Amino acid sequence: MIVVFSMAATLWLIGVAMKSPIQARWIMIGLLFVGVLIIHITLPDGHPLREGTGGSAALWLLIAGFVALGVLYSKGLRWLRARTRPEARPEAERVAQALTPQKLNDVELERYARHIVLREIGGAGQTKLKRARVLVVGAGGLGAPVLQYLAAAGVGTLGIVDDDTVDHTNLQRQVIHRDDMTGRTKTQSAEAAIHTLNPYVTVKPYTRRLTDEIAAELFEDYDLIVDGVDNFATRRVINAAAAKLGLPVVSGALTQWEGQVAIWDTAFDGPCYDCIFPNDPDPALAPSCAEAGVLGPLPGVIGSLMAVEVVKRLTGAGTPLLGHMLIYDALDAETRKIKLGKRPDCPVCGRKDRP
């Protein structure tokens, strides 16, 4: 048995080294378990392979039973948390909302009149916005203007993921937060600001750090993801979960005087984040805002561009930024757009292209 457990640990470590998805690692261990069972079923008693792997299939079946109970227990706990946490929406409510058309009331018709007269949006597009569910990861420099403009535009449900609190150093650029909100969580501050701006928007705050363990389950409730984070690890979590579910990601990034916007949408055969950035840059070449500084209005410019792409994607208006990256240089007042290509050997979205 020690040999089998050692092989399982080796497979797991190889998966970690190759940065394989956790699901893929468990599949490899599962295949190892199936191989052991085949050995015990097909080989006679006393065979060296049987003796070296525990001697009996009963022991492995018992272990499998305990593992299955653990998995069921874990899923049961997640189900209970989903039913009890305030930001969760019951399944019955989600089904009812999907089946019941959401119409604009008289106040909303007046509020969104400037959208409705746009030929590319109109009443049908505005209704799509009201029915849409957008998850914004990060309520900082980029998330602030995105949330404000999406709320003002009438996106029906806005989820906000952030585990940080409002600090005085944020207020120079994170305009959704007020001075009297310092010390409060950014999700609380953003939720209060959105409700003041537009009471017809439902806000779902998630005061936690986004991790691999919760990302896919959380994303399932949304139509589009906004990446407004400031670290590469979380960007990769967002990218992997969104690619798995086929969800579009509107992504932005900042540094000092420059910002960029892109859309990662593998469902439409576009590149994902890992296609373009397979490796994280040297920390010395990509310092944080605290280390390098950032122009106060710049997040507003980039965040507004991100909000534009979200509205276009949800309503079908215009040409999306898919397959391109828009780069804005505030210091030299220059804007350029570069073409991006899908990478066939990308470990996140390129597997289906491999021979």
Strand partners, 137: 161, 227
Instruction: Give the pLDDT score at 75.
Output: 67
Going along the chain from its start, the domains and CATH numbers come out as 2-84 (no CATH), 97-353 (3.40.50.720)
Q: What is the pLDDT of residues 269-313, one digit of tens each?
A: 899 999 999 998 777 666 777 778 899 999 999 999 999 999 999
Among 141, 180, 181, 186, smallest CA distance to 160 is for 186
pLDDT band at 82 (very low <50, low <70, confident <90, very high): very low
Encoded tokens for 104:
């604009």
Cα–Cα distance measured from residue 161 to residue 209, given in angstroms and rounded to the nearest whole number: 7
pLDDT tens figures, 43-81 = 777 777 766 766 676 776 777 777 778 767 766 665 555
User: In 3D, which of 198, 208, 155 has the Cα closest to residue 176?
Assistant: 198
Write out pLDDT tens, residues 185-226: 999 999 999 999 999 999 999 999 999 999 999 999 999 999
- pTM equals 0.70
- 325 vs 56, higher pLDDT: 325
Task: Give percent above pLDDT 90 in the chain.
Answer: 62
- The mean pLDDT of the chain is 85
Q: Is 100 a residue whose pLDDT tops 50?
A: no
